[in-house]
Amino acid sequence: MSLVKLLSFKSLGDERGNLISLEQNKNVPFEIKRVYYLFNTDKDVTRGFHAHKALQQVAICVKGSCLFTLDDGTKREKVKLDDPTVGLYIGNNLWREMSEFTYDCVLMVIASELYDESDYIRDYDQFLKEVSL
Ligand code: T46
């Protein structure tokens, strides 16, 4: 089964431009507790390098592009996000790395929980132990 789960959002655009609405438990498959966004990221920067014990997220590149690498402990898959109508669903226990940001990239992330550092697994060996249990 692919690690890359893409959600397609219907654009409600008209001659004035485009509009996408995100609603919890509808086109976003969980209750939304938090939204954050990354921007002005230099092109050589890599981010992420962690997994989450419980958090579910949907990442949407609303402008520009970036590359996600997902890893479940047995395989790695990459996906380029460059379309504001597409969301990448990232469940728990998935290692993620983000790279190849264009400087204009605005990466918006919808999250199922409030920020909680204790939900992060920031050590790759620890992650491998957790997913092999
Ligand atoms: C993820 C990827 C896609 C907060 O205080 N509140 C928040 O809601 C977030 C997301 C971060 N922070 C703090 C924690 C760090 O001191 O902001 C700083 C940067 O966070 P971090 O280094 O975790 O950023 P990324 O880009 O490596 O990862 C972020 C999310 O943290 C993570 O959950 O899945 O984006």
Closest C-alpha to ligand 1, atom 11: 115
Identify whether 50 is a catalytic site residue: yes
133 has a pLDDT exceeding 90: no
Closest C-alpha to ligand 1, atom 12: 115
Q: Would you say the pTM of this structure is higher than 0.90? A: yes
129 has a pLDDT exceeding 90: yes
Q: What is the pLDDT of residue 57?
A: 98
**Domain extents in the chain:** 5-9+26-132
Of the listed ranges 13-17, 35-39, 52-56, 76-80, the least confidently predicted one is 13-17
Chain segment 51-95, per-residue pLDDT in tens: 999 999 999 999 999 999 999 999 999 999 999 999 999 999 999
Share of the chain residues as helix, strand and coil, in percent rounded to the nearest 5:
10, 45, 50
Ligand 1 centroid, distance to 30 Cα (angstroms) = 19
Chain segment 84-121, per-residue pLDDT in tens: 999 999 999 999 999 999 999 999 999 999 999 999 99
| Across 30-59, average pLDDT | 98
- Which ipTM value was assigned to this complex? 0.98
The CATH number given to 5-9+26-132 is 2.60.120.10
Ligand 1 centroid, distance to 48 Cα (angstroms) = 8
Burial pattern 99-122, b for ≥16 Cβ within 10 A else e, equals bbbeeebbbbbbbbbeeeeeeebe
